[in-house]
Structure 1
């Protein structure tokens, strides 16, 4: 699972990487840097609109399907299992044609109560595979909501937790964001590619932290870092 991540990012650079037009992104509305992003908080996502243009926008982290009559569901929706997302009513419409990329500096997984921080060895931005949905109550403004896809953990990540976020390789971002492609046809490829990226992540244990803690200190190694094997 992924229920906490860090995003200390240059949104202008992210917009440029994904060819987001300046009119389709407002940095002032995007989340401030944080090392303790948890469900139901604001996150930045990249997604393609019905107009075919890419947008970088602020979203509520916990997907609410358009047909739900309340903002609160009886089950958590901040993660969606990639193995079943196309079949579950909550996520099926989004998996079919409303997919997103959630940029992150790194993410945390918990082994019991012990948190571990996962990141690229060169600290490059990670692209987490996500789904999005628009929801509103009555005549209230529309709310953009999102979830992070997870899969079975492998190798190093599996020593910490049995699930991990699905990561999008740079050469697969166009396909993943393309709304004209049914997500069911993309799932095998994105999962396979994501596993290979995850195998090469660096990770280390960090000190336990609370919901109000924040800052770069949260990702400071508690013990020796784990790095992917070169052999």
Structure 2
């Protein structure tokens, strides 16, 4: 799963780093090192004229057909293996594929210790997500996949991370959802080699101190280069 992540840059600075424009909804995004489900987060969507645009969406997907904005089950994550067939995510998998930029994300091990995952070269990570509009409100989910290699000892799931060169294919609305989800899931295996991880203190409050290593623990997992 992915239940917390960090994106500490304001929308304009983030858009500048990614080389995209922003829309009005991007102004609702609040930078944070401790982003939780229900927050309005930065997303990259494809416009009708083919441009990539930084926008904002509530992190907890509500399908367009829902009678309520409070579903009886969490929807901040969706399994990439089944999202194209699940009624909650099916429409978004076809028409609402997005990217979710993050500096890094947190996972908890079996002892409830949080670990900070981030790109070993410091670059922005791009997670695969799905977007749904409910009563005029943009909502979204982060797709997850089976954790592998050095990610697996911390948690059995991880976000689906997209290689920069694959982002256009992921956002392309003309592609058949089952095919693009399957291909993206396979390609995401290579992203584990670009990550480092370290144990951090329990997440309280906000700020860059949240991603500092726990004293005396330091780096717990050093991931190998991409294979």
2:40 corresponds in structure 1 to 42
CA distance in 2, matches of 1:194, 1:150: 10
2:163 corresponds in structure 1 to 169
CA distance in 2, matches of 1:17, 1:205: 28
Select which of 203, 209, 217 maps to 1:217: 209
Is the contact between residue 117 and residue 203 of structure 1 (CA under 8 Å) also seen in structure 2? Answer: yes
Over the aligned positions, Cα root-mean-square deviation in angstroms equals: 1.9
Q: How far off is 1:179 after superposition?
A: 1.1
Q: How far off is 1:13 after superposition?
A: 5.3
Is the contact between residue 11 and residue 27 of structure 1 (CA under 8 Å) also seen in structure 2? Answer: no
Give the structure-2-normalised TM-score: 0.91
Is the contact between residue 147 and residue 156 of structure 2 (CA under 8 Å) also seen in structure 1? Answer: yes
Which segments of structure 1 move beyond 6 Å, counting only runs of 4 or more? none
Q: Which runs of 5+ in 2 are unaligned?
A: none
Q: Please state if 1:132 is matched with 2:131.
A: yes
What SS does structure 2 have at the residue aligned with 1:59?
Answer: strand
Q: How far off is 1:199 after superposition?
A: 3.1
1:69 corresponds in structure 2 to 67
Q: How far off is 1:31 after superposition?
A: 1.9
CA distance in 1, matches of 2:116, 2:45: 26
Q: Which runs of 5+ in 1 are unaligned?
A: 137-141
Select which of 187, 194, 199 maps to 2:188: 194
Is the contact between residue 48 and residue 55 of structure 1 (CA under 8 Å) also seen in structure 2? Answer: yes
CA distance in 2, matches of 1:170, 1:28: 21
Is the contact between residue 81 and residue 182 of structure 2 (CA under 8 Å) also seen in structure 1? Answer: no
Q: How far off is 1:51 after superposition?
A: 4.2
1:114-168 deviation line (CA, Å, top 9, x unaligned): 10000001111000100000001xxxxx100000000000011100000000001
What SS does structure 2 have at the residue aligned with 1:47?
Answer: strand
Give the structure-1-normalised TM-score: 0.89
What SS does structure 2 have at the residue aligned with 1:186?
Answer: helix
CA distance in 1, matches of 2:182, 2:74: 24
Q: How far off is 1:18 after superposition?
A: 5.5
Q: How far off is 1:10 after superposition?
A: 5.6
2:27 corresponds in structure 1 to 29
Q: How far off is 1:85 after superposition?
A: 0.2
2:105 corresponds in structure 1 to 107
1:198-223 deviation line (CA, Å, top 9, x unaligned): 2331000000123xx11000000012
